[in-house]
Chains A and B, each alone.
Chain A
């Protein structure tokens, strides 16, 4: 059983990854909330201890009539005045942070469209839109404005290490501003239950140096380099993959599934869930629903041997 193998290793890996940690301080928005988090946590600990301490004392102590005056003060100051002041202060602070972390513009605009169960990503550049999927690269230190939409059901876009989440709602466009502060590959998730494979709707948010980011975006904008008479591409066309998937620079222009133009340059396969390796790619094609139940892509169990190898090596060449 897979579960047993996993149990053996879990102690080793626990807690040391933290790519989804709110407190990783990898983004300006997350940092604002982190400060708030530690302050309210400490405050909550103090208040909890005081209340429970008072209750324990009151439960154990002998009754004395003169305590009535204390009880009166206790209710007025502890039950009324203190809570009003504390929550009022918190409210104002929370609103100030809210004002600080929301923004309607950014140095970069990325449109993300939630699909069941993957992410269509479109970079708006002066030269036109650049479409990719399931991996979002971001320049360090620059505020990016995400424009979020969905076609089918509600999803929610969340990179915990960079900042808060925002829902993607059919018929609406929502926005979220994120300003990365640390290099790294941070995990992104769908936070709103969207049916079926909701648990397997992930993405990578890769924060790069601004220079490297510009080069990556230029590369991403280029069409795919497909050799004339590529055997794998022939299989791709014969099996009708192009009806759903697009590979820019070829005749495959399917708008339904993720854009595959630079598939192999991504870190993960299947919307952020498997490492991008030839083995996983082959399994993805033949045992699709074992790897990700309920998805719309049909499995191709009949695709085996040389044809499968050719297709996999073609796909793995799409850098």
Chain B
């Protein structure tokens, strides 16, 4: 047992003193103030970044929706010549791409960044500047991808970009590069947000919020962010392979050179199916938060919902091949995925039954959010049932790539994601703006959208049954699809008009309208504790939470928080401060200081955006220049804003609680962020390992003969050097802890040439054996593994020099050595990567008897 600080037995608060309260409020205000005017773009606080994120995602949604209307207009009548074939192909590709990558996933991040800290009673997320960086990446990447359509070079290969259509420059042009690089860039920002949200839920909870007291919303955020961490990296690995083939003619997907087009489909759908649940679960989370409020009681089956969220998250990784049922894989392989696709219906159903059971045992208040939630249920259950149908292999052989599937996916995504999101918009609008939306317009928008949606998509199932394939820009009157398509088009426009009503309702200027009363829905979760009018600091003092619905069950809480009776009621040192707690029981661990407004993140995102955009056009010199700019800005940001040595080792956090002001190792959020990021990085690496074994399974002669293998000796030398580099990082940490700063610096710097020599030995092993990545898939795989190691060593070198410089300038000291600890953690993963690559290049061929 650990020594416990019993939070329920803290000394009482000091008596209320108006002058003290006002002074504290003024200091908090000064610290947390949002920059005004054009300086606002330097803001990093979650309420600013969250709002931008939300509005930008909806802007991309509107854009993609407009594309959908153009598509529907084209299909309204047979043999229509409104759009050309080439434009149509760009439009549907961009529609899917933008909806998935620029709306559905970012909106999860947007909502979570906006409300998660508030639900946790925190002042901000643990890495506010990282959120801002992620937002700017998202904006730049999104504009780049969407803007391409105005120059007629939008991607046109469908949103899942099947090879060889997307890999062979004869069949696809610049659009494919824009898709690959633009979206890789956005995926980086998604992963950044995922890291932030995981650490947020694990480490930024209010003191006392044990695992069993975490609100459902936070469980979902944790689960979904975890899924992003395991789902996006394989796609990034796939993007890397595909772009290497497109730009440098490496042989990954070309069957004539031992490649295989199906590899892309595997990597894409290992991402693509969990993606569906990454989109769906956060919206269900919104309903799970809204429903108890209107039912006026806690959710029935709280732990059952946690079970189903975790269960769905796992099972969703066993469904990817159900997008590949018609690729001629052995029936037995298909059947496993059919089985998992059926099994996932069970936890999904449990969530819905828990919702209904909650309504059953309570008296539900009617409201616009509940109307949208009800519409969501009706649509989603239908989509789920057609999902059970298409999970059956023989059924899918008919339905696959037909309009039946188009209808199915829109039922699941619009019912499972969009309608709950709109429920959330109506529910949290007063939280964000402190004004009320019009209920009347809310009902109008609901019925227009609900009616329009069903009119558009219900007949579409039948269009599919009548044999219309998806992604066709025209059809003939004799096909018999005309009436159904006309109905769908009318429905789509009604749906769009409903969205216009909603947009008007949201954007309507309400400057003079009265402010809402505090906690107007009488909700139980912490975000409604915000004062009206709201303050930039989030919570006046960070409370001790010992219930699931604090605003219902801790009656005195609001007053205590407002009077500053809980933790960190002040900002004496003029720093933005958060409380970091432990994972299991949310014991306070230390006071974290986070960065305030900054242009550095903006510069960093801009340079990284330029890198990806310039690489699309193969402007390599400029790409390198901006790459250096990105590294420069990022280092500057880290140097000035992270692991700062505090002016005093600990501080009074209120109520007699004294907490350290610095943490390292697994107490600190930074360590967890490195750990989680590197888990994602290993997943991407596993994507490459999967590719290796995929080729080995699919191609009988993937492994070349003994004469054509990289030299074992050189590979072994390389591995030894790389592991020696890892040891220098370990020793550097040891020496630093012991006070030997000079030795630590020397060891850190010595690791750089060791890494360079190590990767040089590997490169030589491949080169001297005559490996040419444009020749065969084995050669290309060997080189891509070496390239992967090389890129990581480059990062390793930058980090080593950075930490050495920090030691030199006494910003990383024997006592405050978080930088060194985090670097060591990074090198553990690097060493693991090196060992696995060595096993693939040297040991596995030997094991298979090639040598």
Contacts and interface: CB of A to CB of B under 8 A. Distances in A.
When A and B assemble into the complex, do they touch directly, with CB atoms less than 8 Å apart?
A: yes
Contacts of A241: none
Interface string A173-211: 011000000000001011111111111100000000000
B162 A193 contact: yes
B615 to A, nearest CB: 24
A78 B86 CA distance: 49
A22 B402 CA distance: 11
A279 to B, nearest CB: 17
A84 interface: yes
Contacts of A17: 478-480
A91 B327 contact: no
B479 A75 contact: no
B487 to A, nearest CB: 10
Given A36-B395, A51-B352, A52-B378, A164 B172 contact: no
B480 A33 contact: no
Given A3-B82, A55-B356, A88-B342, A10 B474 contact: no
B349 A79 contact: yes
Contacts of B358: 71
B328 A174 contact: yes
Interface in A28-70: 29-30, 32-33, 36-37, 40-41, 44, 47-48, 51-52, 54-55, 57-59, 61-65, 67-68, 70
A44 B387 CA distance: 10
Contacts of B393: 94-95, 98
B363 A62 contact: yes
Interface stretch (B424-432, B461-469, B602-610, B651-659): B461-469
A273 interface: yes
A73 to B, nearest CB: 10
B473 A199 contact: yes
Interface stretch (A119-127, A154-162, A218-226, A250-258): A154-162
A194 B262 contact: no
Q: Interface SS of chain B: helix, strand, loop or mixed?
A: helix
Contacts of B470: 193
Interface string B461-493: 000011111111111111111111010000000
A47 to B, nearest CB: 6
B95 to A, nearest CB: 13
A199 B346 contact: no
Contacts of A61: 360
A16 interface: yes
Given A164-B397, A192-B401, A187 B479 contact: yes
A14 B361 contact: no
B80 A189 contact: no
B441 interface: no
Interface of A: 1-3, 6-7, 9-11, 13-23, 29-30, 32-33, 36-37, 40-41, 44, 47-48, 51-52, 54-55, 57-59, 61-65, 67-68, 70-72, 74-75, 78-80, 83-84, 87-88, 90-91, 93-95, 97-99, 101-102, 116, 148, 152-154, 156, 158, 160-161, 163-167, 169-172, 174-175, 187, 189-200, 273, 293-294
22 contacts: A6-B477, A10-B78, A16-B480, A18-B466, A19-B480, A20-B466, A33-B394, A44-B385, A48-B382, A55-B374, A58-B364, A71-B300, A154-B261, A172-B255, A172-B262, A172-B328, A187-B467, A189-B469, A193-B158, A199-B474, A293-B85, A294-B85
Interface of B: 77-82, 84-86, 89, 156-158, 162, 164-165, 168, 171-172, 255-256, 259-262, 300-301, 304, 326-328, 331, 334-335, 338-339, 342-343, 345-346, 349-350, 352-364, 370, 374, 377-378, 381-382, 385-386, 388-389, 392-398, 400-402, 465-484, 486
Given A63-B361, A167-B328, 19 more contacts: A3-B80, A9-B477, A11-B483, A13-B482, A14-B484, A33-B394, A48-B382, A58-B356, A58-B360, A59-B359, A91-B339, A98-B331, A152-B171, A161-B467, A169-B328, A191-B469, A195-B89, A199-B475, A294-B86
